[in-house]
Amino acid sequence: MSVSLERLARNQALFREVNERLLELAEGFQDGSMQFVCECSNQECTQTVNMNHEEYESVRGRSTFFVIASGHEVLAVEKIIDRRDGWTIVQKVTASDYVTETDPRRHASGV
């Protein structure tokens, strides 16, 4: 994996980890929508996306899926799975082994 592709994957994995911690902190408040950080590969991105708990869980069901703010797609390394109001689900197509290995839920479930 090239250095730039590795950096992009690391950035997305880091943002996913932040969202997992936000979800833990919001436990008990998961019925409504909440703000998650954009999981795009831009390390300087500070955008958030509003999603409800069910929507977030649908993205997190696959280690290679990420939720990003609309317009933050990098089609050279990911493909668009679905577009919603203000956010997009993308699948990482390069460095997929890395994002799968770093998925915090993968390790928590013992997979």
Give tens-digit pLDDT for 8-66: 888 889 999 999 888 887 776 656 788 999 999 898 999 999 998 889 999 999 999 99
Task: Report how far residue 22's alpha carbon sits from residue 43's, in angstroms, rounded to the nearest whole number.
Answer: 18
pLDDT classification of 2: cutoffs 50, 70, 90: low
Q: Quick one: which H or E segment has residue 91?
A: strand 87-92
More confident residue, 89 or 8: 89
Secondary structure (3-state) at 59: helix
Cα angle: 100, vertex 16, 58; to 5 degrees: 80
What are the structure tokens assigned to 6, written together? 């590795």
pLDDT of res. 71: 95
Question: Taking the alpha carbons of 86, 49, 108, 94 in that order, is the dihedral positive or negative?
Answer: positive
